Amino acid sequence: MVQRIGASAGMSGWRAATLPVSERRIGMSHTMPARCQLWLRIVGAQSAAGPQVSVLASLLLSPIHVRVIHRAVRPGDPHPEEIALTLPLVPANEQLARPSRTFRGPAGGSRISLQLFDHERSPLTEERELGGCIDGIRETSVSLLARVHPAAWISPRGGHSGTEPTLRLEGELVFVSGIGLRVWFRPLAGDAVVVDIALASVGTTLHFADRVVERGLPGLPAILLAFLDAESTPIGRERLAHLREE
């Protein structure tokens, strides 16, 4: 028999934000390298009531950049003039932290292991042994691949009282699949205790600070967006996000 504590990363509905027609959302599917960082604090391992265990877990994400390309529009020109700038979308080591959990482990000693899984209960990692349940603090890190959908768009802002509107780059990261952490406490005798912690649900969305984009580069009316991973490798292809009338 297994005693379960908490809920796994579950399926949750989500709806993409509604954008004005002038704002073209550019998005790509991406398998992002990430790490689950975990701290365990154990007190009273010899207690007849069982040890008090506190778990603190978080996801550390790898960076994603957006390449903003100002390009000339000349039909038939295979090499149009352009100016390209690279801006961060997901900062390096962006953290998705979860609230800490405290509970009682099984009395009489146990061994601890952990595993990551998605919202369909498919394992994302192998089970990792952490050793015996003794007083103290344990820290560990587990690498995984997260299915995400980065998106960015150019948004006009301002333009009141005769001033020209500015263009701003906005972006978000949506988790396409859930990520859950399972911690096992297997006693020498008796029932195991399993703690499930939802790190990200389907549709969990991180919004990032917008940035001003140059609006009026002469002769370069088209703005295209492209995503780059941590190694500056393109994620998908560049796509048109904004076209200025000239």
Quote the pLDDT of residue 19: 41
Q: Do the domain assignments include residue 86?
A: yes
Q: Do the domain assignments include residue 79?
A: yes
Pairing state of beta strands 30-43 and 82-90? unpaired
Q: Mean pLDDT lowest for which of 4-13, 58-67, 83-92, 138-147?
A: 4-13
Q: Give 222-236 as a 3 state SS string.
A: EEEEEEECCCCCEEE
Q: Do the domain assignments include residue 27?
A: yes
Q: Per residue in 45-82, is it b (16+ CB within 10 Å) or e — as a string?
A: beeeebbbbebbbebbbbbbbbbbbbbbeeeeeeeeee
Quote the pLDDT of residue 10: 37
Choose among 39, 40, 193: nearest CA to 108: 193
Quote the pLDDT of residue 6: 46
Q: Do the domain assignments include residue 13?
A: no
Q: Do the domain assignments include residue 49?
A: yes
Structure tokens that stand for 222 in this block: 């088209």
Number of domains in the chain: 1
Q: Do the domain assignments include residue 16?
A: no
Q: Do the domain assignments include residue 229?
A: yes
Range of 34's domain?
2-8+23-243
pLDDT tens digits for range 124-158? 999 999 999 999 999 999 999 999 999 999 988 76
The structure tokens 């995400």 sit at 148
CB 156 within 8 A of CB 166: yes
Give the whole-angstrom CA distance, residue 163 versus residue 19.
23
pLDDT greater than 90 at residue 42: yes
Q: Do the domain assignments include residue 17?
A: no
Give the whole-angstrom CA distance, residue 39 versus residue 57.
6
Compute the chain's Rg from CA coordinates: 24
Quote the pLDDT of residue 194: 93
Quote the pLDDT of residue 7: 42
Give the whole-angstrom CA distance, residue 214 versus residue 169.
10
